[in-house]
Structure 1
Amino acid sequence: MTTATGVGSMPGTTDEGYAEAVRVVLGELPDLPHVPEVPGRGVTAGMTGRALAVVDGLAADLQPAGWRLTDTSGVDHRRARSLLAQDLDAVEELAQGYVGTFKTQVTGPWTLAATVEKPRGDKVLSDHGARRELAQSLAEGVRVHLADLRRRITGVDRWIVQLDEPALAAVSLAHVPTASGFGRHRRVDPPELSAHLEWVVAAITDAGGEAWVHSCAPQTPWSLVAGTGVVGLSADLDVLGPADLDTFAEALEGGRSAALGVVPSTSASDDPATDPSDARLTERVQRWLDMLGLDPEVVDEHLVVTPTCGLAGATPGWAGRAVRLSSTVARNLSLQQPS
């Protein structure tokens, strides 16, 4: 059966908005809900702050230029950890009695290295030893985080941990700017790119989870990602090149999951009359399968429908419609398969 899920983020600016996001996810994505992120509440709820709240054994603080590793945790790092625990309390309460598959998300090692600074400034990306330490600390933190989720929501028999890597393409192509803004950090060689992802993927697997990687950035090295042991690939279908499409097709044929972002993440209007139709979106996925010579009946259970990217920038009205559209498209695809 084709399923639907969200990429991760939802709109909102308050803790009450977080609880509402959880309700929407549980209500509209019953086959594959996810732990929502609501970054509109501030930097401690953003993807970097969220990941630093998970990282084990490293301290951080918020500086004018952004998050920086430090000797002791600053007030904002402590707030990020407290907010994550508070949010998981809300998920635990609202998901009581849930049975099935659940997904959570965390920033991947390369996007984290490209956004967090070393203690003396400049990105962690600039230092081989620092980026290695950050990736390994993330791997251990994700292991602990997944164990916490298992304790909280006991009916989940399959946990998916999605590593968000929107900066992976920039890291691999030497497009990440230096602190001065006048230069670019040197590209990281593929073996190291793979190794750091593999550490986190292995930690997820060892903890009994299933690792996916998501990016809605063009030029993401999907063939490299596919070789790290991940079980799922997730991307905006619009940004995939011909070679990427082949990688996704090979993943599906090999029994891995492919999450296709086909529902727009934002809309100029909350008027239902302007919504993209579920029939048109369903047809688009079917054309993609046909173009790649994939048998819909064979890949159906490994296919996942999502919005094109996170919904943090959407209005609450559109966010609700986007997840409903994702569910409808997934249902359409399943209904068209022979029983």
Structure 2
Amino acid sequence: MRTSALGSLPGTDLGAGVRLALEAVSVPWLPEFPARGPWAGMVGRALGLLDGLGAELSAGEWRLAAVPGLDQRRAKAALRDDLDVLEENAQGLAGPLKVAVTGPWTLASAVLRPLGGRVLGDRGARRDLAQSLASGVRGLVADVERRLPGVEVLLQVDEPSLPSVLAGGVPTEGGYFRHRSVDRPEAVELLRELGGDLLHCCAPGLDVELAVGRHGAGFTGVSLDQDLMNRADWDALGPLLEDGRELWLGAASTASGVAPTADALTRRVLGALRPLDLGPVLAERVVLTPACGLAGWPASQVSALLRALATTAERVGGELGAG
């Protein structure tokens, strides 16, 4: 059974954070460091990837613009710095390397149009944003693979707003109303435009069939917070795991900032997985992760959490493999 993490780390020490992300888990990842500024968080990083679309940060909100603003240029520079540090520390790395990007629906929910109103409220604008993002992501993947020839990029698409988008729950800019729900076919289409291997959602209510079902958006895995999963989620996941899909299980809560013990985490994971009665299939197709990003955690607790996940994965993999 493998382990990984999902996105952000605390502080601004890129070198130390990247080395941790390369060494402490079995599926390394390129972390985000949002403490550097809004251009280094999940929305800022995604806007720094846009191909042919400008954006600017004004009064704490991102909006599309005719030309790239200062903070969008900072976002591009911050990502270049991240990739330079990754390249320096990951020479000789072979196998999967997970890189996360904000998905088109969460980005459209967070970004305003030039004259106001969320991009989400304009069908043409959200398509333009998705296509621009997809082009930029293709460039990012190619850049990482050029810098690290032995690496296979595993693209994680972060979509915490997707359940609200589909349910008509995203507030308008003023907050008094809600945007209309987006039809499932359009949601699938723009996710397919971006591509990706793993859909991560740390909000309740994700339709896992939309992400990894045979007629869904084409992801091979889904990443969910264990605390937010209900019986219907588990019932849907069983057949999908048997069909070759993966579950990246956010087994360790990130709410407290304190790492659980490996004993407690092992009990928790086994309690969730054993009822599926899939035995060795689970050891092969479940990856253990924190529930979400770790930007607000003390660095010492981040290390302790990743160690606990590694121990838990070894124990749970042995239990399920033996079963």
TM-score scaled to structure 1, two decimals?
Answer: 0.90
Identical-residue share of aligned pairs (%): 43
| 1:97-122 Cα deviation digits (max 9, x unpaired) | 21221101000010000001111111
The equivalent position to 1:40 in structure 2, one of 35, 44, 58, is 35
The equivalent position to 2:95 in structure 1, one of 85, 90, 100, is 100
Partner residue, 1:171: 165
Matches within 5 A, 1:54-93: 54-93=49-88
Whether 1:18 and 2:14 are equivalent positions in the alignment is yes
For residues 98 and 307 of structure 1, what CA distance do their matches in structure 2 show?
23
Partner residue, 2:210: 224
For residues 294 and 257 of structure 2, what CA distance do their matches in structure 1 show?
13
Partner residue, 1:272: none
Asked if the contact 2:257/2:296 (under 8 Å) is kept, the reply is: no
Partner residue, 1:8: 7
| 1:125-157 Cα deviation digits (max 9, x unpaired) | 01000001111111111111100010111221x
For residues 74 and 58 of structure 2, what CA distance do their matches in structure 1 show?
14
Change (3 A) 1:268 1:131: closer
Amino acid at match of 1:176: V
For residues 286 and 246 of structure 1, what CA distance do their matches in structure 2 show?
16
Partner residue, 2:301: 318
Question: What is the Cα deviation at residue 24 of structure 1?
Answer: 1.2
Amino acid at match of 2:6: V
Question: What is the Cα deviation at residue 244 of structure 1?
Answer: 1.5
Partner residue, 1:283: 267
Matched pairs, number: 319
Say what the alpha-carbon RMSD is for the aligned residues: 1.6
Amino acid at match of 2:301: W
Whether 1:299 and 2:295 are equivalent positions in the alignment is no
Whether 1:234 and 2:220 are equivalent positions in the alignment is no
Matches within 5 A, 1:106-255: 106-156=101-151, 158-201=152-195, 204=196, 211-226=197-212, 227-255=216-244
Change (3 A) 1:321 1:188: same
Runs (4 or more) in structure 1 with deviation over 4 Å come to none
For residues 81 and 191 of structure 2, what CA distance do their matches in structure 1 show?
28
TM-score scaled to structure 2, two decimals?
Answer: 0.94
Change (3 A) 1:121 1:293: same
Partner SS for 1:179: coil
Asked if the contact 1:109/1:134 (under 8 Å) is kept, the reply is: yes
Moved more, 111-120 or 280-289: 280-289
| 1:155-178 Cα deviation digits (max 9, x unpaired) | 21x321000001111111111111
For residues 111 and 171 of structure 1, what CA distance do their matches in structure 2 show?
8
For residues 133 and 308 of structure 1, what CA distance do their matches in structure 2 show?
31
Segments of structure 1 that go 5 or more residues without pairing to the other structure are: 205-210, 270-274
Asked if the contact 1:107/1:163 (under 8 Å) is kept, the reply is: yes
Partner SS for 2:29: coil
Asked if the contact 1:266/1:311 (under 8 Å) is kept, the reply is: no
Asked if the contact 1:267/1:318 (under 8 Å) is kept, the reply is: no
Question: What is the Cα deviation at residue 314 of structure 1?
Answer: 1.1
